[in-house]
Amino acid sequence: MWTFSKNKQWNDLEDRFDWVKRMNDVPQDSRYHAEGNVAIHTQMVLAALESQEAYKALSEQDQEILWASALLHDVEKYSTTVFETDGSITSNGHARKGAQFARQLLYMGGFTPFAIREQIVGLVRYHGLPIWLFEKPDPLKALIKASMEVNTEWLALLARADMLGRICSDQEEMLYRINCFEEFCKEHNCWGNARQFASNEAKMYYLQHDDAFVDYIPFEQSVAEVILMSGLPGAGKDTFIKQHYKDWPVISLDAIRIKRGISPTDKKGNGQVIQEAKEQARVYLRKQQSFVWNATNTTSQMRMQLIELFNSYRAKVRIEYIEVPYQQLHSQNKNRDAIVPAAVLERLVYKLEVPALWEAHRVEYCVK
């Protein structure tokens, strides 16, 4: 069984992890966290989690996943806490940055299975969603996307522990919101599982159209397929393409860089590389010809820009995400024709956003 920490005593955690110890240095707004700093709050959250009957009913492995998520859920308040001019204390963006930290920590540690790691990352990323879901512009769409990244039943458990592990005047209202979140999940078939669609085309149509009905089935068919590679430098994308798509045309950003003599760290030059690659893609798309787009595409923003382009030509998109262990990544990077500097690779590891199932028609994970 995977376990994050066999000894869960707080003093031991502080001795072993600097990031746990520094929680003592992070203050919180007394209106919402009268209990004190982030360390006190986190200990109260862990205690509240362990006291819930729904938590006790989980398997030992599932409990471990939730426990690690609770420990990490506010880890990046350290870097996002701001003292506002009106005297309040905010930590906007701490969930997103916390998810990045969790992925980096567990990936570089080298002992966490991919599925477990990404579930923890999702729980940290969305731990506030049950409270704020109904303030989203489109609550249902936000829920459906989240359900494709994280177990919503566990998310509600974590959110309840987060709320019970604090001293505040609006606790009862916030717990009511979490109950509403649970009922909304059940109503829309998202409770503890990803929302299912009649087809991948139906999924993408709903997610890409603001006024789409969730159960609508489009009749328009795709005219080509684009394989969008995703993975850190050195993960083995070129090898994967040779094994699975050897007869497909390939647009390779590395190949264009090498041909033009452009360094991976040259921002202006890389902008030109991307534009040239997009022009090549448009040629294939106009001819309704399938092809492979080979680049790192390690953030959702990078992928979304490309997928929007491909979909505008009625092409369906399959993301092939490739991952190898951290130490192997560095070794394979050194053997590439286009070696990425170690410092650049480390920054990419921290910024990595693993593709979510909602991003494309199909998302496949090749993880060693």
Give me the pLDDT at residue 2, please.
Answer: 94
For residue 234, the tally of other CB atoms under 10 A from its CB is 21
The answer, yes or no, to whether residue 260 has pLDDT greater than 90, is: no
How does pLDDT run across 108-139, given as a tens digit for each residue?
A: 998 899 999 999 999 999 999 999 999 999 99
For 46-71, how does the pLDDT look when each residue is reduced to its tens digit (9 = 90+)? 999 999 999 999 999 999 999 999 99
pLDDT band at 268 (very low <50, low <70, confident <90, very high): confident
Residue type at 100 in one-letter notation: Q
In order of their start, the domains of the chain are 10-187 (1.10.3210), 224-367 (3.40.50.300)
Q: Provide the b/e sequence for 110-128 (b: ≥16 CB within 10 Å).
A: eebeeebbbbbbbbbbbbe
3-state secondary structure of 92: coil
In the structure, what pLDDT confidence band is assigned to residue 150 with cuts at 50, 70 and 90?
Answer: very high
Q: What value does the CA radius of gyration of the chain take, rounded to a whole number of Å? A: 22
**Would you say the pTM of this structure is higher than 0.75?**
yes
- Give the relative orientation of helices 200-208 and 139-147 as an angle to the nearest 10 degrees: 140
Is the dihedral angle over the CA atoms 340, 346, 350, 353 positive or is it negative? positive
Q: Is 286 left (phi over 0), alpha (psi -120 to 50) or beta?
A: alpha
